[in-house]
Chain A
Amino acid sequence: MSQPTAVLGVIGSDCHAVGNKIIEFALSQAGIHVVNLGVMVSQDEFIDAAIETGAQAILVSSIYGHGEIDCNGLRGRCMERGLDHIVLYVGGNLVIGKREFGEVEHLFKEMGYDRVFPPTVDLSNVAQCLKQDIAAAA
Chain B
Amino acid sequence: MKVVAIDIGSTWTKGAAFSVAGDEVELLARATHPTTVANLADGFFEVLQTVVPDDAIGRIRRGELRLHYSSSAKGGLAVAALGLVPEVTLEIGKLAAQSAGAKLTQVFAYRLTRADLARLEEMPPDILLFAGGTDGGNTRYVLANAEAIAASALDCEIIYAGNRDVADEVAALLAGKRLTLAANLLPAFNEPDPEPAREAIRAVFLRAIVRGKGLDRIVEATGVEPLPTPYAMLDYVEAIRTQVPGWEAFMLLDVGGATTDVYSACDSTAEPGVVVRGLPEPPVRRTVEGDLGLRVSAAVTAQAEPATLDAALTRAGLSAEVFAEAAQRRAASPEILADSEAERWVDIALAGLCVAQACERHTGRHQPVHTPEGEVRVQTGRNLKTVGKVIGSGGWLGRQADFDPRPWLAGRVLDARGRQVLLPRRFDYYRDEDNLFPLLANLARACPRAAARAGVARLKQ
Contact = CB atoms under 8 A, between A and B. Distances in A.
Interface of A: 2, 5, 13-15, 33, 35-37, 39-41, 45, 48-49, 51-55, 64-66
A62 to B, nearest CB: 12
Contacts of A66: 372
A53 B371 contact: no
11 contacts: A33-B136, A39-B275, A40-B277, A40-B378, A48-B88, A51-B141, A52-B88, A52-B137, A52-B138, A54-B138, A65-B372
B190 A35 contact: yes
A12 B133 CA distance: 25
B85 A48 contact: yes
B134 A52 contact: yes
A15 B275 contact: yes
Given A51-B84, A54-B138, 14 more contacts: A13-B370, A33-B136, A40-B277, A40-B369, A40-B376, A45-B87, A51-B85, A52-B84, A52-B85, A52-B88, A52-B89, A52-B134, A64-B371, A66-B372
A22 B301 CA distance: 51
A52 B189 contact: yes
B373 interface: yes
- Size category of the binding interface on chain B: 20 to 34
Contacts of A54: 133-134, 136-139
A55 B139 CA distance: 11
Contact of B371 (A2, A13, A48, A55): A13
A36 B136 CA distance: 16
A48 B190 CA distance: 12
Contacts, number: 66
Across the A-B interface, give the 4 residue pairs with the lowest CB-CB distance, nearest first: A54-B137, A53-B137, A13-B371, A54-B138
Tell me which of A15, A35, A51 has the highest count of chain B C-beta atoms within 10 A of its own C-beta.
Answer: A51
A13 B369 contact: yes
Contacts of B378: 40
A2 to B, nearest CB: 7
A14 B371 CA distance: 7
B186 interface: yes
A45 B84 contact: no
A51 B138 contact: yes
Contacts of A39: 275
A45 B371 contact: no
Contacts of A14: 371
Nearest to A41: B277
B35 to A, nearest CB: 42
Contacts of B141: 51
Contact of B376 (A15, A36, A48, A65): A15
A64 B189 contact: no
Contact of B189 (A13, A15, A49): A49
